[in-house]
Amino acid sequence: MHAGDEEGWGLRVPKREAEERRQDLIARGLLDRSRRPRADGADLLLPLTEEVPGAELALFAAFPPREDLPRHELVGGIAIMQDEDVAGAVRILASRPSLHTVVVPLSAVEGEFRTRSFRVLAGEPTTRTTVTEHGHRFAVDLSHAYFSARLSTERQRIRSLMAPAERLCDMFAGVGPFAIACSARASLVVAADLNPAAVSLMCENIGRNRVTNVLPVLADAAHLPRIFGRTFERVVMNLPMESAGFLPAAFALCRPGGTIHFYTLQDAEGGYLERIRAFPVKAVTERRVRSYSPGEWHAVYDIVVGE
């Protein structure tokens, strides 16, 4: 114990998993960045902003005061800034050794391939990086395929809901994070995307994670029922701005008693319940995933399909 140490909640993790777990806590808003992690043998205690399951009380030293960094989001070794601030980008790049590039988006997520263009403000002139998430490693290129590190916890939630040997269809798979995260519980995962660059990265990620039961498909999700029929016990629909238009295809893919996870953006509770109940529904549960913009949030409806 040192003078100035303060007691607080911490999460014990193996050192080899520390960076991955740290990024997950950041994405969930649970990492207390004002205090230093504490080494304890082969483990590291990560300081928390609140108590969570598995947390324990421990003593933590505070970080020395430092200049506040501009707001940014981390995706692997890339920091995405909200504003074009070159001096701030240089400070962000120097703030942690794991970063290699700082960028600012020049557009919103747009087009049929859900991509954005970026300008590199500091570091290596690239939009490609590697993201480590719960034991998996994903090649990501922010300019060529959409990826959100903030859905890491949601991917693990879906995996935890699966029964052994389920068949899962990921209708908008991107570079494969949902498909690969859920593959260990599945007998088959069909992972479809319309974006050729995303499917190419997905194939790379299937190989690097040594997954053998994920089938990558370059296709418009609306056509999947004609290929696979009503085959799947679980369907993931992560295309928040447009997925409502694909609900007919999702119900045509999911077997009675199976579950559809329908992700969307909304500004009112229950905003899509009427549209969902136009289909055969046994039960539906709505939950908020994360804030998206003022007054708007990313929601998921877990839909149990009826006869």
Instruction: State the residue for tokens 């997950």.
Output: 24
Task: Give the span between the Cα atoms of 216 and 167, in whole angstroms.
Answer: 14
Q: In this structure, are 76 and 56 located in the same domain?
A: no
Of residues 45 and 64, more confidence is placed in 45
Classify 172 in phi/psi space as left (phi over 0), alpha (psi -120 to 50) or beta. beta
Q: In this structure, are 155 and 262 located in the same domain?
A: yes
Dihedrals φ, ψ of 73, to 5°? -120, 140
Q: In this structure, are 109 and 190 located in the same domain?
A: no
**Domain count across the chain:** 3
The pTM assigned to this predicted structure is 0.78
Q: In this structure, are 155 and 76 located in the same domain?
A: no
The neighbour count for residue 128, using CB atoms within 10 Å, is 17
C-alpha triplet 209, 225, 285: angle, nearest 5°: 75
Domain that holds residue 99: 72-126
Task: Tell me the pLDDT tens digit for each residue of 160-189.
Answer: 999 999 999 999 999 999 999 999 999 999
The neighbour count for residue 233, using CB atoms within 10 Å, is 19
C-alpha triplet 305, 183, 299: angle, nearest 5°: 50
Average pLDDT, the chain: 91
In a domain, 135, yes or no: no
Q: Determine how β-strand 43-47 pairs with β-strand 214-218.
A: unpaired
Q: According to the model, what pLDDT value does residue 49 have?
A: 87
Confidence of residue 294 (pLDDT cuts 50, 70, 90): confident
What is the 8-class DSSP label of residue 95?
A: H
What is the 3-class SS of 33-64, one letter each residue?
CCECCEEECCEEEEEECCCCCCCEEEEECECC
| Crossing angle of the two packed helices 152-161 and 18-27, in degrees rounded to 10 | 100
Task: Give the span between the Cα atoms of 139 and 200, in whole angstroms.
Answer: 10
Q: In this structure, are 236 and 102 located in the same domain?
A: no
Q: Among 50-59, 196-205, 213-222, 266-275, whose mean pLDDT is lowest?
A: 50-59
Q: In this structure, are 224 and 118 located in the same domain?
A: no
Q: In this structure, are 178 and 51 located in the same domain?
A: no
The share of the chain scoring above pLDDT 70, in percent, equals 97
- Cβ atoms of 18 and 37 closer than 8 Å: yes
Q: Which of 176, 183, 191 is nearest to 221 (CA)?
A: 191
